[in-house]
Structure 1
Amino acid sequence: MHTPDEPESRRAARSRAAAPGVLVSLRRHKTAWLIAAACAGFVILGSGAVAVGASVGGPAEASAVTRGTTSPTPSATPTPTATPRPTPAPVAAASRLRTCSVASLAADSRLGNMEAQVRNAKTGEVLFDRNGSKPNTTASVMKVVTSAAALKALGPDYRVSTTVVTDPADPSAVILVGGGDSTLSRLPEGQEPFYRGAAHIGTLANAAAAKWKSLYPDTPITKVYVDTSLFGAPYWHPTWNENEERFVDGSSSYVTALQVDGDRANPRAMDSERGSDPVKVAANAFVDALGGATYEGELKTPAGATQLAAVQSQPVSSLVKLAVTDSDNTIMEMLTRLVAIKEGAGNTFAAENQGVLTALAGYGIPTTGLHVADGSGLSDQNMVPPSFLTQLFIKVLNGESGLGVVYDGLPISGETGTLASGYGRFTGANAIARGAVHAKTGSVDTGYSLAGIVHAKDGTPLTFAIYAFGPVNDSARTAIDTLTTGIYSCGDNLSNN
């Protein structure tokens, strides 16, 4: 006998040493060995007989005799069925062990109630997740979502028209019909407004006058009406801070189907005080350019009206790029309303959710938890999970369905747009990620957001979304930049721990 920890080589040697003694005994006591062998054979045969008897007799004794029969039929002995050998389950592929952690950066108290997700844009694998499937307020990152809806529903080449038509009931009147182009400018032709490449209302007035004169040479135009029925009321979302957005920041106008220069007091400035009656401002600009007429108010276009002239906006692709780069609220409200109309949902704020969700369905990304309160992200009622954004940005990076213009419009860390160093973004230690982050910024009273694409240090493209909401202040921007820089440094080695 050996102990459990006895070496295998020692046990083998001891067995080989014992073998010669058995052979010597066999030669010296031949008779005794024969008797022992015979006895062993008898025992084996006897055991076999018992075993056979048990296998045959068992079923016969268990068979019941049917009452009333004279000769029972023995039941057949069942053929033993071999028990199949269990097949081992396939071994799951080993997941990669990633070791670069940003957990301490994500735990920064300046981030408040932080939500975030990061994906490898090539594989779609989620590398980092903190409540990534939980919907929350997006702030201006919402513009990426509504831009995607506009590109899908309207198409990148769609242009918004502003037209002038006749009034069959009044041979001296024309109707200026708003088509939703908030970029239409009141500046004279040859002068470039903030909305670069915009159509000019003076061009429209001149074309309408020339066409009118060719049709009615002896009758001047004396009355101008406007038709703004394309967009329904209310024209200001109830969750928006009107004083702040219209006057203090000068970042938003009323959402009307007819206006000029986004209703800016200064047509050349990005942020400029907005007015209280954008329709009237646009109508007066048209009347001034037309000459000899007066503004008469609203009139819905009647049946039988003849179009005299039209001008068109820049294509949707250009409008989206401009809105994403400059975070323009007015353009995105205009486009989102047009999406709702195109998708048959209606022409009000209340219709935008259905319209946008219908358009987004074409991308094949689950929209669970997504709610659209407005197109710009100003409302804290907008809800989008970070996981939706990280999937959408993969399509943006790949340029699917015209989404490449969103990528082209994204601010670049430390360089352009609202991520430029002049805004205090990606400075100091975070400057190592300068030029590597293409992302949309966002801020509302309740928090901050950043979402987009990181071209990581190791060459891996990553998509990400970070929300910092709740008890936060402006320092959350720096904390977001620091976390994003950590993601940049880790690349595909980013750990979820």
Structure 2
Amino acid sequence: MLAAVLVLVLVAVGLVVARPGPVGRWLGDGSAGPASTGVPEPVPVAVLATADVGAPMPSAEGLRAVLDPLVGDAALGGRVNLAVADVLTGQSLFERGGGEGTVPASVTKLLTAVAVLTARGPGYRIPTRAVAGSEPGEVVIVGGGDPALAAGAKGFYPGAASLKDLANQVRTALGGIAPTRVVVDASLYPGPVHEPGWDEDIPTHGYGAAVTALMLDGARKDPKAGQGWAERVPQPELTAGRAFARLLGVPETAVRRGTAPAAPTGTPAGTVEPGAELGVVHSPPLIRLVDIMISESDNIVAEALARQVALARDQPASFAGAAAAMTDVLSELGLPTDGMRLADGSGLSRTNLVSPVLLTELLALAASPDRPELGGVFSGLPVGGWSGTLRDRYGSAPGTAAGVGTVRAKTGTLTRVHAIAGVVTTTEGRLLAFAVLTDQVPPDGGEPARVALDRIAAALATCGCH
């Protein structure tokens, strides 16, 4: 619900202009229509600063005068690359190392969002199927890559598909045949379950997990766990299979891995042939999963969405296949992918390289009326001092107060890596896209680096900068 409200917040931001698409909605264009989230729009709350299509753009000289002293902060380390662009026109306004590939950490999720919304579309829902096995009473649950799937009506993710619903469908389809065994088919993802470039502690430290085609609640052990850190199960597909077995009245000892039989060419009425579909449930629409991924920086959802790009492009649903498919999609969109290197969809890998200019051009493209399906990228962007991963940032540290309610951005953090990319409304009302990436932060310099990044974004909010 919070993410839906954030979309509506953008509707409240000001001047009437005759421009369709997401930017039109931000600027108060009544002809643009509601955001395509499928969620009814309540009365918007004015949180973000008013944008003005007629406001002057900052100059390169003005931006340099404001940003150079902040970029030189020792807390950011020896390599700080940044880019600033005008959202309305897409014009580049300022760069410093803007074309250099830099470790992006979770800012990678912006690329994943644009790629999956392009390849699959905002309304696509990921299926989880049950089919008849090769023996009477054998039920095969076939993972389709839905990371939000829940065991019952209330899982970790709002609006998630339910194994309970799937089990009810199976019992109806089987008629008088009692389920006797559950086969878990997670073969859609060929592996590995962990990306080789991840730090050694990521699979077990609560922000990552084994990436499998069948899982419950993002592989969380407890679906009631809060956002962020959570203990994950080591074999998500088997955990889901055992939960499904319990719902069917099958003992957990009768759960095994396997693959589904091929679908029959024709099934006579009243019979259940091997491979016949017994039931199917679907994830929330991708626009909702994108929103969750960005607002809470959900790594498991990110990896699932990256694999949807691979599947849409007939690539293996693996880390490598997803990276290749995402690269193809971003290149086809005309984005500057030279020097880009992707290894995963979450940004947990240190082998990812992304340039600030790629990020600012991506944000400008997502705001374009020519690509309305990409506008969902903005719905989950946290607001400075108010929501998501920025809820506790801006305002408390000196030099950051101007970012409260004016900065919407995705952050990225690994040891010695800190990044931020998003949009900011200047004091004169111009909407800017910005990206700042740094991957040589001094050891144990996390909090000072975050504050230094926040000062840069807050300084853009004070422009001017002529």
Shorter-chain TM-score tier: 0.7 to 0.9
Number of aligned residue pairs: 388
- Of the three residues 67, 88, 97, the one matched with 1:122 is 88
Please give the residue correspondences for 1:37-436 in structure 2 after superposition, counting only pairs within 5 Å: 98-99=61-62, 101-102=65-66, 103-112=68-77, 113-167=79-133, 169-186=134-151, 188-189=152-153, 191=154, 193-213=155-175, 217=176, 219-243=177-201, 245-248=202-205, 250-269=206-225, 270=227, 271-294=229-252, 295-303=254-262, 304=264, 305-398=275-368, 400-421=371-392, 423=393, 427-436=397-406
Percent identity, please: 35
Instruction: State the Cα deviation string for residues 54-108 of structure 1 (Å, max 9, x = none).
Output: xxxxxxxxxxxxxxxxxxxxxxxxxxxxxxxxxxxxxxxxx96844512111111
- 1:163-222 superposed Cα distances (whole Å, 9 cap, x missing partner): 10002x311211010000111012x32x3x321111111111111111111xxx2x3111
Find the counterpart in structure 2 of residue 92 from structure 1. Answer: none
Quote the offset at 1:364 in angstroms.
Answer: 2.0
**Counterparts of 1:425 and 1:367 in 2: how far apart (Å)?**
35
The answer to whether the Cα contact below 8 Å between 2:411 and 2:420 also exists between their aligned partners in 1 is yes
C-alpha separation in 1, matches of 2:80 and 2:142? 46
**Structure 2 residue ranges without an equivalent (≥5):** 1-57, 265-274
Paired residues of 2:418 and 2:441 also in contact (CA < 8 A): no
Tell me the alpha carbon deviations over residues 424-463 of structure 1, each in whole angstroms, 9 at most, x when there is no partner. Answer: 6764431122110110000012310000101111111111
After TM superposition, the structure 1 stretch with the greater mean CA deviation from structure 2, 291-300 or 367-376, is: 291-300
Partner Cα distance (2:405, 2:288) in 1: 22
| Deviations 1:387-445 (CA, angstroms, capped at 9, x unpaired) | 01011111233462422211110011111111112x56764431122110110000012
Q: For the Cα contact (< 8 Å) 1:419–1:425, is it kept in 2?
A: no
d(CA) in 2 for partners of 1:349, 1:155: 21
For residues 277 and 309 of structure 2, what CA distance do their matches in structure 1 show? 24
Return the structure number with greater relative CO, CA threshold 8 A, min gap 6: 2
Of structures 1 and 2, the larger Rg is shown by 1
The one-letter code matched in structure 2 to 1:260 is: L
- Residue 277 of structure 1 deviates from its aligned partner by 1.0
Residue from 430, 455, 460 that aligns with 1:487: 460
Amino acid at match of 2:219: D
Q: Which secondary structure does the structure 2 equivalent of 1:171 belong to?
A: coil
For residue 486 of structure 1, report the CA deviation from its aligned partner: 1.3
Is the Cα–Cα contact under 8 Å of residues 294 and 380 in structure 2 kept in the other structure?
A: yes
Displacement of 1:153 after TM fit?
Answer: 0.6
> Which stretch shows the higher mean deviation, 234-243 or 404-413?
234-243
Distance 1:427 1:402 in 2: 37
Structure 1 gaps of 5+ residues are 1-94
User: Normalising to structure 1: TM-score of the pair?
Assistant: 0.75
CA contact (8 A) 1:235 1:254 kept: yes
- The normalised TM-score by structure 2 is 0.80
Structure 2 residue identity aligned to 1:342: A
Aligned mates of 1:132, 1:297 — CA distance in 2 = 51
